[in-house]
């Protein structure tokens, strides 16, 4: 991971910070996503993803978050560490995804259920995961879209 600076004080309680964003060109359309994995010391890397056609914005958001959590879990495991030792802060600009994961909004779309269940299952592999909404401008500043 590249060095990018120290995170804001509010994020220091997390060992890792994930910033994610997904979307589609058309809705549904060509799906895409990006995420940043950042350590509490500021080292980070960004990954870009393409999902093909007939993907909704919300599906792309969930799929990108799932990819980020999987990547982080696997990175920790490759280092010989246990993901249950780490606290995550997950930042996203999708109110739907963040509020569903926090139990504030109902999950009404059956197509999203598979992604929701996978994200929740993977999140349970870590010591703590906080899902926090942030403004779209922060996603753009971090991820470039």
Q: What are phi and psi of 133, to 5 degrees?
A: -80, 145
**Assigned CATH topology for domain 2-143:** Nucleotidyltransferase; domain 5 (3.30.420)
Concatenate the DSSP letters of all residues of 65-122 into one string. HHHHHHHHHHHHHHTT--GGG-EEEEEES-HHHHHHHTTSS----HHHHHHHHHHHHH
Q: Where are the domains of the chain?
A: 2-143
| pLDDT confidence of residue 11 | 54
pTM for this entry:
0.91
Q: Which residues of the chain have pLDDT under 70?
A: 1-12
């Amino acid at each position: 991971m590249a060095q990018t600076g120290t995170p804001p004080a509010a994020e220091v309680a997390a060992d890792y910070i994930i910033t994610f964003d997904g979307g589609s060109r058309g809705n549904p359309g060509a799906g895409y996503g990006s995420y940043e994995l950042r350590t509490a010391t500021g080292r980070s890397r960004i990954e870009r993803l393409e999902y093909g056609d007939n993907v909704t914005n919300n599906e792309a958001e969930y799929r990108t978050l799932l990819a980020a959590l999987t990547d982080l879990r696997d990175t920790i495991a490759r280092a010989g560490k246990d993901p249950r030792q780490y606290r995550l802060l997950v930042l996203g600009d999708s109110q739907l995804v963040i509020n569903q994961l926090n139990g504030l909004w109902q999950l009404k779309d059956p197509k999203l259920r598979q992604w929701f269940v996978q994200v929740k299952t993977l999140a349970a592999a870590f010591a703590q995961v906080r899902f926090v909404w942030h403004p779209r401008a922060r996603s753009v500043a971090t991820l470039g879209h």
